[in-house]
């Protein structure tokens, strides 16, 4: 496994690469969710590239950029165990040298839901993802459905800007109790962790319903109970269209995404489930 910190060194490795390159961009603090993406990439390509970069552009001023976990040695062990070929670990100045001006705008999709709570977040995500795709030059890139609106923004960008890459979505990996794996779960106390389960429980209940109103009612019942605890603050719970993220009318039939975000203690968590309503 090669670990490279510069664009120039990566470019030399890329030039020598033969066959399909499969890419998994991450912010590190790798867990089984990331590892499942790497395994999927392994099945899609001859050469697997993982990037580890905590992207300052996608964090708001009051968010956890400074304290975001960065256990690089452990991350490299995870990558080695999954048979990753190249790990690209750029510094902030390598990706954002002084003087840069041009960024990507995620448009209206980037301002809804997550984007409303985190202004500029998806612009920051798309800017770094486009840069990484240009640098890594993969044939296929794998993104998790855990960040479902991010995935939709990336798919939109790839279409709208004619980015020559195949985007593959990977299913959400959860702990045995249902909590979606997240690098931010390490922030949770045991009490907060059990409170956080309201998110996956609400989604599970919604997913067994067959209509828009029934799915909403099922999720809200669980989420309202969680809100009795002052440590739980719901941000949004929305049943939306999987590509536009427009909220669905009661009579809608077709594919849907139930997306939720909440603050549990000081930790902001997101989760979602894909479903079909009639």
Nearest distance from residue 26's CB to ligand AMP, in Å? 4
* Beta strands at 254-264 and 166-170: parallel, antiparallel or unpaired: unpaired
The residue sitting closest to ligand AMP, measured at its beta carbon, is 144
Do 212 and 250 meet the contact criterion of CB atoms below 8 Å apart?
Answer: yes
Name which of 172 and 226 has its Cβ closer to ligand AMP: 172
Name which of 172 and 218 has its Cβ closer to ligand AMP: 172
The tokens 């976990």 sit on which residue?
69
The tokens 């939709």 sit on which residue?
152
Nearest distance from residue 224's CB to ligand AMP, in Å? 25
How many C-beta atoms surround the C-beta of residue 50 within 10 A?
Answer: 30
Nearest distance from residue 181's CB to ligand AMP, in Å? 4
Q: Please enumerate in sequence order all residues whose Cβ is within 8 A of that of 60, keeping only pairs 6 or more positions apart, or say none.
A: 118, 119, 120, 121
Q: Please enumerate in sequence order all residues whose Cβ is within 8 A of that of 216, keeping only pairs 6 or more positions apart, or say none.
A: 206, 237, 239
Do 179 and 196 meet the contact criterion of CB atoms below 8 Å apart?
Answer: yes
- Please say if 34 is a catalytic residue: yes
Nearest distance from residue 172's CB to ligand AMP, in Å? 4
Nearest distance from residue 213's CB to ligand AMP, in Å? 29
Nearest distance from residue 144's CB to ligand AMP, in Å? 2
Which residue among the candidates 31, 34, 78, 241 is catalytic per the annotation? 34
Name which of 37 and 84 has its Cβ closer to ligand AMP: 37
Specify the long-range contacts of residues 95-103, CB closer than 8 Å, at least 24 apart: 95/53, 95/55, 95/128, 95/131, 96/56, 96/57, 103/57, 103/127
Site of interaction with ligand AMP (CB under 6 A)? 26-27, 33-34, 36-37, 143-144, 146-147, 170, 172-173, 180-183
Do 237 and 205 meet the contact criterion of CB atoms below 8 Å apart?
Answer: no
Name which of 75 and 216 has its Cβ closer to ligand AMP: 75
Q: What is the dihedral of CA 19, 20, 26, 28, to 10 degrees?
A: -30
Side-chain half-sphere CA neighbours of 244 within 13 A: 5
C-alpha 49/C-alpha 115 separation (Å) is 28
Name which of 24 and 239 has its Cβ closer to ligand AMP: 24
Helix, strand or coil, per DSSP, at residue 50: strand
Name which of 14 and 146 has its Cβ closer to ligand AMP: 146
Residues with active-site annotation: 34
């Amino acid at each position: 496994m090669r670990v490279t910190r510069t664009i120039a060194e990566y470019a030399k490795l890329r030039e020598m690469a033969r066959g399909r390159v499969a890419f998994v961009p991450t912010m590190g603090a790798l867990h089984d969710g990331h590892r499942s993406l790497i395994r999927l990439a392994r099945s899609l390509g001859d050469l697997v590239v993982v990037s580890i970069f905590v992207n300052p552009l996608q964090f708001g001023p009051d968010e956890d950029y400074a304290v975001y976990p960065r256990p690089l040695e452990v991350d490299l062990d995870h990558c080695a165990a999954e048979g990753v070929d190249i790990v690209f670990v750029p510094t902030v100045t390598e990706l954002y040298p002084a003087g840069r001006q041009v960024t990507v705008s995620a448009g209206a999709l980037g301002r809804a839901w997550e984007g409303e709570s985190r202004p500029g977040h998806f612009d920051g995500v798309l800017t770094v993802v486009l840069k990484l795709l240009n640098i890594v030059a993969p044939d296929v890139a794998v993104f998790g459905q855990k960040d479902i609106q991010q995935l939709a923004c990336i798919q939109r960008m790839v279409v709208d800007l004619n980015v020559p890459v195949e985007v593959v979505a990977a299913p959400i990996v959860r702990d045995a109790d249902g909590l979606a794996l997240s690098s931010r779960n390490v922030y949770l106390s045991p009490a907060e962790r059990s409170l956080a389960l309201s998110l996956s429980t609400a989604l599970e209940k919604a997913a067994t319903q067959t209509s828009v109103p029934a799915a909403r009612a099922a999720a809200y019942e669980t989420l309202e109970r969680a809100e009795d605890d002052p440590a739980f603050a719901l941000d949004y719970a929305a049943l939306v269209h999987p590509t536009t993220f427009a909220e669905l009318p009661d009579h809608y039939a077709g594919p849907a995404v139930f997306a939720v975000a909440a603050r549990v203690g000081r930790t902001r968590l997101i989760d979602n489930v894909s479903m079909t309503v009639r």
